[in-house]
Amino acid sequence: MFDIFKKKFDFNAYIDASMEGLKLVTDAHRSTWNLGQESNWSVDQEQGKIVFTFSDGTVAEAPVQIIGTFNSRDNTFMWGWDHPSVIPSLQVNARKVLDFAREKKIAELQTQKVECTEQGAWEFSAVAMRLSEANGAYRGEAGPGTYVFMNFGTISLSKNT
């Protein structure tokens, strides 16, 4: 009887807000520890950590979650929640998106491999970041034409001498 008071979920607005949040945190990371200027990055799945190294000896480390991989050759995204290359402990944030998708009945987020653009992969990562209250998102090249999309937690900075 009170269904007229329920507002229909607007997934596009949710994506837009998630992307705005990603932009804000990315700008903050760029200005504070130079995200995007790293000379190298790596992920240790067993330790659950992403490491960014910089030419001046700065090292930034954070807990990491793998959201999925984007293949630019066929424009497909494979979700991390059931990815053969992602260990279960690094699938947590991606699984939060799957749970959210089931609750909201969003089919494209429930399909393990979906066609999308790279922008779509960023949107998936931003939604995962928002749902998981992660500290940021990153895209790294995993091979020719293949990119891994990740969320990361609190950054720890150190300096190699």
* Whole-Å CA distances, 103 to 71, 110, 137, 161: 28, 11, 24, 50
pLDDT at residue 2 is higher than 70:
no
Q: Where residue 9 falls among pLDDT bands split at 50, 70, 90? A: confident
pLDDT at residue 1 is higher than 70:
no
Percentage of residues of the chain with pLDDT beyond 90: 91
| β-bridge partners, 51 | 42, 61
Range in 2-16, 22-36, 42-56, 58-72 with the lowest mean pLDDT: 2-16
pLDDT at residue 50 is higher than 60:
yes
As a whole number, the mean pLDDT across the chain is 94
pLDDT in tens, 96-119: 999 999 999 998 899 999 999 999
**Domains in the chain: boundaries:** 12-159
pLDDT at residue 3 is higher than 80:
no
Closest CA to 120 of 105, 108, 111, 130: 108
Backbone phi and psi for residue 67, each to the nearest 5 degrees, phi listed first: -85, -40
pLDDT at residue 125 is higher than 60:
yes
Report pLDDT for 120: 97
